[in-house]
Chains A and B, each alone.
Chain A
Amino acid sequence: MTVTLPKRVLKLWREISADTYKVSLDLLLTTRMDSAAATDVLSQSVDRVLRDFEAAHAEVPPDEEMPFAGQWDVVRVPEGALLLGGYKSDAFEEVLQAIVEDLSREGVRGKLDLYARPEVPWDPRGIGTIEARIRVLGRRVMDHRERWAADRYALERVIEAAANWCLEARPDRAVTLRHAWLPTLVLRRCDSPMERLREVLSDDNEVRLASIGDERFRRMTVVPRDGSVTVVEGGPVLHRSGWRPSVEAVTGLVRHVSSDAVYASVGRTRPWAEEERRLRMAWGEEAAHEEHLAPDVFPIQLLGPGYAGRVPAGKDWRATDLGEGRVLLEHVDQAAWLDEVTLEEGLLGDTIPRADLVERARASFGDVLFTDITKEERDGQHAWRMAHPEAHLPEGIVAKVHALPETPYIHHWDVALVLRDGSVVEDVEIGAGGTTVRRIGGEREFSLDPDEVVDVLDRSTR
């Protein structure tokens, strides 16, 4: 065997899994390869082993459950390839031995050993955070429901600006990075955070980058699928009037990226009671409309060109023209939205902002606010979907979609479909990860036999 597995690995596994199967091990593959290559090789090996495991156990007697290989993930760390393995596995040792053997068959030389992941520090404790939610340029598309498909180039620019904004804050404790459901990793100073960020960014997964100091932390959360970039500043620095420089800082970022955004809001996070929420049935669909309808009122909002001629006015609001059709709309009494509650207010159940202030602000926004979806509308949407089966493309065509030049809109493809009879269907929108035709000619109702599709042509505009 050319990849070794020290005995302590299985010894530890047997110890920690004696009483529960909800455990996993961190294992580090060290080889002569660089860590990126080692990560690729290990990922491929894990994929093969899991596929083989599933195939081997595909046919089980009806009264037995198919064994679960467990959760196995691979992520690059500076020292090599980190294998996070075995969560809920029915066959940890079998799978691990198979991975070692597969790696050896592939000619890998190295060691798969226990890895102590650096401890991730806590955020310093504060009261809520100052938050800016930014919706980047993009367009409304139809997936299962309406969705905002981000312009990937605008998203990249906003991510870079937001990451730099985070990294300006002094990381007395650590700089951390997390993507998808994988554990948060501590970054070393010699590792460029921007490079690590680009490495893990994908269209599919949420990414978080944080700079954690003793008195302040900054964090950026990117959700590429709906084109949102959220930055927060938190920690003891927010106390008393400390929220003011934090608000200035996040608003400064909003101004900086305004030409790549259609909407943004700045506020202080706090727990909201159910009855205080405007939107209860929207289920995130309001995000697809933020370019012309605000989800709620906030002390500071960036209103893009879609709000032209409809920007709320009045003595409570101060509008600043940022150019390119964008307006920064700020409430004149920022403290009324962003201050800390006093003991007296807290005991009485009062909030900041007070309910009457929120009501007044909502009234001044009027029809600029997104209207919640009713239960009847939701029922109607459900009934429509039941009556209109989705047009799933054959596997071979999905592969062709994925082979097209990178689509400018995250998870959305503008294409033409070539049919078996040689005809071409133009103005086709594909969503759901490239698997499903969503609209043809802008219409959700169309006639298409997916099995007749033989080719797909790129029609995206860059």
Chain B
Amino acid sequence: MELTNAVLARAAEIERSYHAPVLAMRVESTLDRVQILERVLAAIATLAGTDAIHWSVDDEPAGVIVRQWGHAADIGATLLDLSRALDSEGVDGELVVHAPEPRPARTPLRERPEELLECHVRVRGERRFAQIASNRPEPVVRFFPDDAAMLAGMEAALAWVGDPPAGAELWSRGDLPHRDVGEVRAHIAASLRDLRGPLSRMPTNAWWESGDRFRLVYVAPASGDVSFVEGGPRLAAGGWEEPYSMLVEELSAASAWGSYGLIKRGREPGQVGRSVGQDWVPFLRSGRYDFTYSFYEDVLAPDAFGAQLLGSGYAGRVPEGADWERVDVGHEAALLLHRDPAAWFGEPLPPITILASGHPDPAYPTPEVILRAREDLAGILVSPDAIAGTPLDPLRR
């Protein structure tokens, strides 16, 4: 078993640097993979327990990888010991440096613009008064999601990202991808225990990216928000129909646990979950979008969208009109779909900035289809007037 000069050079380089202190070597041998693995494991077993040097052996796509770490006065000598042990076990060939290609540097998904379609769902629940901070004694209205509905929403979201295509990695918080969606589920479950109370439970994002598309979900157990997203270069190039169709399916299925839902176009993955206020055309009818509007989505829609799920809170108030198709989906809920989805989802929105959302300019080029829809759906849209006076039940006048 030849110990290549490159291995010795790499060992010397690691030793005196602040780089990761693990020397990784690949066994290149004429033996078959199984034989290499068995014999290398046997060889390493003979070295264990000497000095403060430690070894691991892994069967990886690149081959059988031997890793060494720990402190030794003479690392070269420990590598010679390895070489001799491999000889004794009948492993021929050479040990070469194993240095995986570094991950390509790319701006993280949630920090860069990407064309996307988002299906946002408000789970079922109820409005209650709550004291939200010790320095704010006056109770304020908050939406409290129902546990069973929230659980169903979270499971649906996990299913949306739970089966990444080959080669795509599943990410959420942290600096390493998850091995599978079970890990994401476990992290969300652990995060539910917030000692400050249910209103302080942190939201979670999870996503995968493949070559030309990505999927992303957002779940906020404190507020009852669930979002399903698909986007990326394929959508930007005009491929909207397939993701739109799948999101409509999700929206329809959400009738079992959701009180309201919408599908919208956007371009800020980092704003998913709160994108109606930050990644949508400006609100012109009432100054600007107020995040407290989201507490009323079970009875008042935040805006007009090309596809909406109107739950039982909209019973008897589902708008009608030539541009709209109503589809009853059970659970006293209906999908309200615009008859020209391409006008809503086939083209990117006009440029939107935080400034545009926060300080609407009447000259903003809101697409005509949205302006007309706002008129059609005026009866179910939220506004300051609609929620003034009866904040827990704005429909009771």
- Taking the complex as formed, is A349 at the interface, i.e. its CB lies under 8 A from any CB of chain B? yes
Interface locus among B183-191, B345-353, B373-381: B183-191
A127 to chain B, nearest CB (A): 4
Q: What residues on A are CB-neighbors of B175 within 8 Å?
A: 122, 124-125
Q: Which of B15-23, B38-46, B276-284 contacts A (4 or more CB under 8 A)?
A: B15-23
Interface digits, B302-333 against A, CB 8 Å rule (1 contact, 0 not)? 00000000000000000000000000000000
Q: A124–B20 contact, CB under 8 A? A: no
Residues 145-172 of chain A, each 1 if its beta carbon lies under 8 Å from chain B, else 0: 0000000000000000000100110111
Q: Are B182 and A240 in contact (CB under 8 A)?
A: yes
Chain B CB within 8 A of A355 CB: no
Q: For B179, give its contact among A171, A236, A343, A347 (CB under 8 Å).
A: A236
* Interface: A348 (CB within 8 A): yes
**A314 lies within 8 A of chain B by Cβ:** no
Interface set, chain A 329-388, CB cutoff 8 A to B: 340-349, 351
Which residues of B line the A interface, CB within 8 A? 14-18, 20-22, 52, 54, 56, 67, 69-71, 75, 147, 150-151, 154-155, 173-176, 178-179, 182-183, 185-195, 198, 221
Find out whether the CB atom of B18 lies under 8 angstroms from the CB atom of A171.
no
* 17 other A-B residue contacts (CB within 8 Å) besides A271-B195, A343-B192: A118-B18, A124-B175, A124-B176, A127-B186, A128-B190, A170-B69, A171-B22, A188-B17, A189-B14, A189-B71, A239-B179, A239-B183, A343-B154, A345-B189, A346-B189, A346-B193, A349-B193
- In the complex, the chain B residue whose C-beta lies closest to that of A344 is B151
**Residues of B with C-beta under 8 A to A186:** 18
- Does A236 contact B183, Cβ atoms closer than 8 Å? yes
Which of B75, B173, B193 touches A271 (beta carbons < 8 Å)?
B193
Contact B176 A125 (CB under 8 A): yes
Stretch at the interface among A10-18, A136-144, A190-198: A190-198
The answer on a CB contact under 8 Å between A167 and B20 is no
Please, which residue of chain B has its CB at the minimum distance from the CB of A270? B193
What are 22 residue pairs bridging A and B, where the CB atoms are less than 8 Å apart in the complex? A122-B175, A125-B174, A127-B190, A170-B56, A171-B21, A173-B20, A174-B18, A175-B21, A189-B15, A189-B70, A270-B193, A271-B194, A340-B189, A342-B189, A343-B151, A343-B154, A343-B188, A344-B151, A346-B189, A346-B191, A346-B193, A349-B193
| Contacting pair A174 B183 (CB below 8 A) | no
Contact B186 A340 (CB under 8 A): yes
- Flag if A191 contacts B173 (CB, 8 Å): no
Q: How far, in whole Å, are A274 and B69 apart by their CA atoms in the complex?
A: 42
The distance from the CB of B23 to the nearest CB of chain A, in whole angstroms, is 8
| Residue ID in chain A nearest B188 by CB atoms | A343
- Binary interface encoding of chain A residues 227-240 relative to chain B, with 1 for a CB under 8 A from any of its CBs, else 0: 00000000010011
Does A26 touch B at the CB level, under 8 Å? no
> A174–B175 Cα gap in the complex (Å)?
15
- Residues of A within 8 Å of B190, CB to CB, are 127-128, 270, 340-341, 346
Chain B positions within 8 Å of A56 at CB level: none
Interface check A214, CB cutoff 8 A: yes
Contacts of A118 in B (CB 8 A): 18
- Closest residue of chain B to A164 (Cβ to Cβ) is B52
Residues of chain A within 8 A (CB-CB) of B178 are 236
Q: Once the chains bind, are B16 and A347 in contact (CB under 8 Å)?
A: no
Contact A127/B187 with A344-B151, A347-B147, A348-B147 known, Cβ cut-off 8 Å: yes
Q: Decide: B221 and A347 in contact? CB cutoff 8 A.
A: yes
Question: Which residues of chain B come closer than 8 Å to A341, judged between CB atoms?
Answer: 189-190, 192-193
Question: What residues of A have a CB within 8 angstroms of the CB of B21 in the complex?
Answer: 171, 174-175, 187-189
Question: When chains A and B are docked, how far (Å) is the Cα of A215 from the Cα of B186?
Answer: 16
Is A188 a contact of B15 with CB atoms below 8 Å? Answer: yes
Complex Cα distance A187/B75, Å?
Answer: 16
A164 to B174, CA, bound (A): 28
User: Which 10 A-B pairs give the minimum distances between C-beta atoms?
Assistant: A346-B192, A125-B174, A118-B18, A189-B21, A346-B189, A127-B190, A190-B15, A347-B147, A343-B189, A192-B71
Residues of chain B with a CB closer than 8 A to A351's CB: 193
In the complex, the answer to whether B189 meets A174 with C-beta atoms within 8 Å is no
Considering the complex, give the chain A residue whose CB is closest to the CB of B173.
Answer: A125
